């Protein structure tokens, strides 16, 4: 499965995306370049994650944002 993430950025640079499962285990780390303004980040070829809730953290030099991802069967 794949997913996309809409990320508004105040600056150009690199963001680190981390995804954790409900136990807090880190299941994915990705670094992506972003431009100032709205960005769509595509995460492709995910491992076979089990259905459930995952927590996403997106970090750059100035900001940390968090959200949830729900994988359905």
The confidence band for 73, taking pLDDT boundaries of 50, 70 and 90, is confident
- Angle at the Cα of 58 (from 13 to 21), degrees rounded to 5? 150
pLDDT for 48: 77
What does the DSSP 8-state code read for residue 25?
Answer: -
The confidence band for 61, taking pLDDT boundaries of 50, 70 and 90, is confident
The confidence band for 55, taking pLDDT boundaries of 50, 70 and 90, is very high
| Digit-coded pLDDT (tens) for 5-48 | 999 998 899 999 999 999 999 999 999 999 999 999 998 867 67
What does the DSSP 8-state code read for residue 15?
Answer: E
């Amino acid at each position: 499965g794949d997913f996309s993430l809409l990320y508004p950025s105040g600056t150009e640079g690199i963001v680190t995306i981390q995804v954790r499962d409900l136990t807090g285990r880190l299941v994915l780390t990705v670094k992506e370049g972003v431009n100032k303004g709205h960005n769509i980040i595509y995460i492709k070829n995910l491992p076979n994650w089990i259905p459930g809730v995952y927590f996403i953290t997106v970090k750059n030099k100035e900001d940390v944002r968090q959200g949830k991802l729900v994988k359905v069967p």
